[in-house]
Amino acid sequence: MNKKLVVSVIGAGGKMGTRVTNNLIKHPDTIELYYCENSEFGIKAIKERGFDVTPAEVAVPISDIVVLAVPDKIIYDVSVGIVKMMAANKSLIILDPAAAVAKELALRDDCTFVVTHPCHPSYFLDQDTYEARHDYFGGIAGKQDIVIGKIQGSEENFTKARMVSEIMFAPVVNSYVMGIRDIAFLEPTLVEILGATTLYAMAETVKEAERRGIPRAAAESFLAGHVYNLSANFLGKLGNTKVSDACLVAIDLGNRLVLRDDWKRIWDDEVLDNVIATMLHPHDPQI
């Protein structure tokens, strides 16, 4: 019988720690799982779910894979201590590229370091069940893709980390392998700086519509339907179907009225570095 893969999750009582341990624990035949947590709230949450908390000093040295599920802004401080405790030729996974790109993740030459992040269930995916269609985050029932990149280390360890990542965010359709800077251009650049900002503005505009007496349900339906339809159109999923000439004029106006003329600067390397530095240390903005 093959030896089980030993996995420790640091921050197992937090938001992501809870999600990923809920999936890892479903594989007791292949994964020996340890929950590590240091806050009273997190420890209580793990115990209420019926699991024990293990000190990192005990779990990390015997782990094949350590998942660091702590907030990005403390990854430097936490990783310095955790990485020292790892045995040689083992792996550490972080769940966001920011700290790695900002070089705030402690590294060691004899270990493998990996970044993974969920794409969340796309509205273009055919989900099979009601529960899957209503799993907006993913990792419960909704099929989703993930992205994954190796910071450094061996291919053999990366393969294991990829398998564990696919379990953490299951059910996973595709795990796309790319460089960690590419992951950072997806988040924060694509989905936070641009996506979350414009979607937030859209939701604010629904509120404004409601304030002006437009039924909220109508505004919400109008928005969600158009987001679905227009994203299918602009991403080339509708063949040669084009938006109206008037819509093209409106987009041109929106580029001036809503977006800055130079908004594509968000793809400059320098802007990405300054964005990440500011997100990790908001008290010391770099942009």
Ligand X SMILES: NC(=O)c1ccc[n+]([C@@H]2O[C@H](COP(=O)([O-])OP(=O)(O)OC[C@H]3O[C@@H](n4cnc5c(N)ncnc54)[C@H](O)[C@@H]3O)[C@@H](O)[C@H]2O)c1
Residue 67 Cβ vs ligand X, minimum distance, rounded to whole Å? 9
Report DSSP letters for 135-150, one per residue. -SSSSSSS-EEEEEEE
- The 3-state secondary structure of 184-215, one letter per residue: HHHHHHHHHHHHHHHHHHHHHHHHHHHHCCCC
Based on the shown chain and the rule CB under 6 A, indicate whether residue 71 belongs to the binding site for ligand X: yes
Candidates 7, 53, 69, 114; binder of ligand X (CB under 6 A) is 69
First to last CA, the chain: 54
Of the pair 12, 219, the CB lying nearest ligand X is at 12
Q: Which is nearer to ligand X, 162 or 219 (CB)?
A: 162
- Looking at beta carbons only, is 94 or 193 nearer to ligand X? 94
CA angle 69, 14, 133 (to 5 degrees): 95
- Give least dist CB 244 to ligand X, A: 37
Site residue total, ligand X (CB under 6 A):
23
Tell me the closest approach of the beta carbon of residue 40 to ligand X, in angstroms.
9
Q: Which is nearer to ligand X, 91 or 219 (by Cβ)? A: 91
What residue number has its CB nearest to ligand X? 14
Please state the closest distance from residue 139 (CB atom) to ligand X, in A: 10
Residue 143 Cα distances to 19, 121, 178, angstroms:
15, 6, 20
Q: Give backbone dihedrals phi and psi of 175, rounded to 5 degrees, phi first.
A: -115, 110
Please provide residue 35's backbone torsions phi and psi, each rounded to the nearest 5 degrees.
-100, 120
In whole angstroms, what is the distance from residue 282 CA to residue 202 CA?
25
Q: Pattern of binders to ligand X over 38-57, x per CB under 6 A?
A: xx--x-------------x-
For residue 39 the two structure tokens come to 């806050």
Question: Judged by CB, which is closer to ligand X: 76, or 247?
Answer: 76
Rounded Cα distance between 200 and 190, Å, is 14
Q: Nearest approach, Cβ of 11 to ligand X (angstroms)?
A: 3
* Residue window 76-115: x/- pattern of binding to ligand X, with contact defined by CB under 6 A: --x---------------xxx-------------------
Residue 117 or 160 with smaller CB distance to ligand X? 117
Which parts of 12-41 interact with ligand X (CB under 6 A)? Answer: 13-17, 36-39
The answer to whether 139 contacts ligand X (rule: CB under 6 A) is: no
One of 5, 6, 7, 10 touching ligand X (CB under 6 A):
10
Question: Could you tell me if 56 and 8 are in contact, meaning their C-beta atoms sit under 8 angstroms apart?
Answer: yes
How, if at all, do strands 144-152 and 172-177 pair?
A: parallel
Nearest distance in Å: CB 95, ligand X: 4
Between the alpha carbon of residue 31 and those of residues 14, 25, 56, 173, 217, the distances in Å are 20, 8, 17, 21, 46
- Quick one: which segment of 7-15, 149-157, 215-223, 230-238 binds ligand X (CB under 6 A)? 7-15
Residue 70 in the binding site for ligand X (CB under 6 A)? yes
- Count CA within 13 A, CB hemisphere, residue 275: 21
Which residues bind to ligand X, rule: CB under 6 A? 10-11, 13-17, 36-39, 42, 56, 69-72, 74, 78, 94-96, 117
